[in-house]
Amino acid sequence: MSERRLERLVNHELSGLPTFLTQNGGLNSGFMTVQLCAASLVSENKVLCHPSSADSIPTSCNQEDHVSMGGFSARKALKVVEHTEAVYLYFQGIEFLKPLKSTETLQKVYELVRSVAPPLNDDRYMQPEIQSVISLVRSNKIWRVVEPHLERMSKLESCRPDLLRQEAGSPTAAVLGFPDFSRVL
């Protein structure tokens, strides 16, 4: 799903933003390669999700006729998680929506990400920045920014879910600070 969202973001026909999120298309590739890599990782994840047990081979002089392949399955699952972490790179689109402001929560996450990955104005090698953003995810720094707002959403949903949906349009919109989500659309 994240890769498809990234495709929508870099596609000017769908997002209304500059193609590949770069002002100098043709001269710069922008996020074209990032989206290509994301698509490749997602496709590889589909292959990795094939059940390992479907390829069991008898062992031990054919005494062990079923081998779980559990170790291989665990390594594949870890690889899928690593690939999925690398797909989350959306903040470049925000650069083209300024001076519009995001919610307080997303602004804090944006600032945290931008502290390790500055906006892309000209093509550059992005792997170190991608790894830095992944480190933010793995270290729970992004989670610590978002968690208080998720707790707020949970309390709102448990108290008056009908009121929350009516006023905000969605629970997420309410948590992120849009009291009337219809005005944002």
pTM more than 0.85 = no
* Residue 10: inside a domain: yes
Phi then psi for residue 115, to 5 deg, are -70, -20
**Is-contact 167 180, C-beta < 8 A?**
yes
Burial class (CB in 10 A: 0-12, 13-18, 19+), 171: middle
* Residue 21: inside a domain: yes
How far apart are alpha carbons 167 and 173 in whole angstroms?
Answer: 9
How far apart are alpha carbons 26 and 11 in whole angstroms?
Answer: 14
Q: What is the pLDDT of residue 124?
A: 86
* Residue 155: inside a domain: no
Whether a cis peptide bond, with omega within 30° of 0, leads into 99 is yes
Candidate from 14-18, 88-92, 115-119, 178-182 with smallest mean pLDDT: 178-182
Average pLDDT over residues 51-72: 77
How many domains are contained in the chain?
Answer: 1
* Residue 156: inside a domain: no
Q: Which residues contact 36 (CB under 8 A, 6 or more apart)?
A: none
* Residue 106: inside a domain: no
Question: 20: domain range?
Answer: 2-99
* Residue 158: inside a domain: no
* Residue 75: inside a domain: yes
Average pLDDT over residues 58-87: 78
* Residue 32: inside a domain: yes
Q: What is the pLDDT of residue 168?
A: 44
**Confidence grade of residue 184 (pLDDT, cut at 50, 70, 90):** very low
